[in-house]
């Protein structure tokens, strides 16, 4: 069996006195796409932030491509191949599109840059058209494209996408899903949080549902589709 792109074992994470993640074990294989599902407040974003190093777990361990990163800062995890597209996008309003893309650009551990600026502009022609615009001059969809492009320019082996299409019009959602498909088809592993269940089931290799800080389902799209009671109980769909 290949070394997981990311492996978390028995993770507990707190916000102050609030116990959010409770003994979570989670893995993603190289090149695998995993959806992370659940109602609001069930721990999805906390898990992503813990994996990315933005929150420190109270207990448990995290490995990235076989290396223990439990005590590593977010910047070290980024250098080791993990990128996050955060909820809210995190665009710098006073930087241009090109500056937002290039300020964090780096090669991977092999010295390669598989997603140079030209490839990002090919993936997102709209960004190429607006490359001299400030970040705060972009629409919500353009900001999401920019956030994804910025993550790719760090040459990641795994990308975490939190609320990938939140607040976007249907046509823009379709564009983002098509882009995510291109990214995962390139061999990058992905963990995706989103509320559009059918889109996630069509895209993901595996689906994980969280409830009250614990994983209550982990399986294929076919298995999840077949369990309507589970979907209704934990997703309200």
pLDDT, tens digit only, all 237 positions of the chain:
689 999 999 999 999 899 999 999 999 999 999 999 999 999 999 999 999 999 999 999 999 999 999 999 999 999 999 999 998 888 999 999 999 999 989 999 889 999 999 999 999 999 999 999 999 999 999 999 999 999 999 999 999 999 989 888 898 899 999 999 999 999 999 999 999 999 999 999 999 999 999 999 999 999 999 999 999 999 985
Give the helix/strand (H/E) hosting 130. Answer: none
Q: What is the pLDDT of residue 88?
A: 85
CB atoms within 10 A of CB 122: 11
Q: What is the pLDDT of residue 100?
A: 96
Q: What is the pLDDT of residue 146?
A: 95
Report how many domains make up the chain.
1
| Domain contains 1 | no
CATH number of the domain bearing residue 114: 3.40.50.300
- Quote the domain boundaries for residue 23: 6-235
What is residue 82's three-state secondary structure? strand
**β pairing state of 33-37 and 206-211:** parallel
Retrieve residue 49's tokens.
Answer: 């932030």
Q: What is the pLDDT of residue 201?
A: 95
Q: What is the pLDDT of residue 236?
A: 84
Q: If you write DSSP's letter for every residue of 173-228 in order, what string do you get?
A: HHHHHHHHHHHHHTT-EEEEE-S-HHHHHHH-SEEEEEETTEEEEEE-HHHHHT-H
Pairwise CA distance, residues 91 & 77, whole Å: 20
What is residue 68's three-state secondary structure? strand
Q: What is the pTM of this model?
A: 0.94
Alpha helices in 63-163 (DSSP H): 74-79, 97-102, 117-123, 125-129, 140-152
Q: What is the pLDDT of residue 49?
A: 96
| Phi, psi torsion values for 24, nearest 5 degrees | -80, 125
Q: What is the pLDDT of residue 1?
A: 62
Three-state SS string over 91-114 comes to: CCCCCEHHHHHHCCCCCCCCCCCC
**β pairing state of 189-193 and 158-162:** parallel
Q: Which of 61, 84, 67, 63 is nearest to 12 (CA)?
A: 61
Q: What is the pLDDT of residue 119?
A: 96
| Domain contains 186 | yes
């Amino acid at each position: 069996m290949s070394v997981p792109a990311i492996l978390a074992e028995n993770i507990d994470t707190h916000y102050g006195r609030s116990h959010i993640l409770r003994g979570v074990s989670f893995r993603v294989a190289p090149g695998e796409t995993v959806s992370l599902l659940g109602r609001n407040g069930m721990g999805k974003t906390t898990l992503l932030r813990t994996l990315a190093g933005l929150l420190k777990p109270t207990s448990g361990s995290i490995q990235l491509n076989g290396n223990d990163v439990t005590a590593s800062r977010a910047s070290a995890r980024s250098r080791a191949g993990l990128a996050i597209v955060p909820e809210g996008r995190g665009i710098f309003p006073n930087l241009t599109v090109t500056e937002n893309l290039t300020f964090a650009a780096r090669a991977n551990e092999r010295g390669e840059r598989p997603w140079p600026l030209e490839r990002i502009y090919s993936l997102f022609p709209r960004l190429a058209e607006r490359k001299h615009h400030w970040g705060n001059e972009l629409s919500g969809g353009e900001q999401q494209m920019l956030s994804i492009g910025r993550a790719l320019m760090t040459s990641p082996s795994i990308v975490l996408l939190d609320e990938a299409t939140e607040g976007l019009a249907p046509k823009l959602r379709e564009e983002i899903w098509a882009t995510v498909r291109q990214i995962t088809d390139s061999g990058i592993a992905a963990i995706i949080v989103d509320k559009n269940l059918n889109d996630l089931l069509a895209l993901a290799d595996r689906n994980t549902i969280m409830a009250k800080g614990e994983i209550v389902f982990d399986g294929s799209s076919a298995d999840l589709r077949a369990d309507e009671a589970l979907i209704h109980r934990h997703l309200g769909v």
